Amino acid sequence: MYWSGVWDTDWVCRKRVLIGERTMQPFNTTQKKPPTRATIPAEEKLLVSRGEAAQLLSISQRGLDYLIANRRLPTRRIGGRVLIPVADLRKYARGDHPESIVA
C-alpha cells in the first residue's frame, strides 16, 4: 500500500486486529497527582539561585551578575547551576557599598 497522505482506516483497523492491539482507554488525570516539591523559604536555605539572591538583596538579577563577575560575591557551582551562599549574602547586605555596582 502506498502513502497517499490520508490513512486508510480500514487497513489500520485490520492491522490492529492482526497484531492484537488493544484500544487505549482515556487517561484519568484526577487519580494521579504530580510529585510535590519541598518548598523551603530562601532564608532557611544554605545556597540560593541567582534569582532568589537578587530578590534577597533587592537588586536586579543583572546587578547580581555584575557583583558575581567582579568577585564581590562568592558562588558555588553544582552541575551547571550557579548558587550563592545565604551567609555571604547576609554579610554583603550588612556592609555599606557606596560604589557603583557596574565597574
Would you kindly state where each structural domain of the chain is located, as residue ranges? 42-94
User: Given this model, what pLDDT does residue 29 score?
Assistant: 55
How far apart CA 95 and CA 55 sit, in angstroms, is 17
- As to burial, measured by CB atoms within 10 angstroms (0-12 exposed, 13-18 middle, 19+ buried), residue 53 is buried
Q: H-helix or E-strand containing 95? A: none
Residue 45 dihedral angles phi and psi, to the nearest 5°: -80, 155
- Please give the class, per CATH, of domain 42-94: mainly alpha
Name the 3-class secondary structure at 99.
coil
Q: What is the pLDDT of residues 4-27, one digit of tens each?
A: 555 555 555 555 555 555 555 555
Give pLDDT < 70 ranges for the chain: 1-31, 103
Quick one: which of 55, 61, 57 has its CA closest to 88? 57
Predicted local distance difference test score (pLDDT) of residue 16: 55
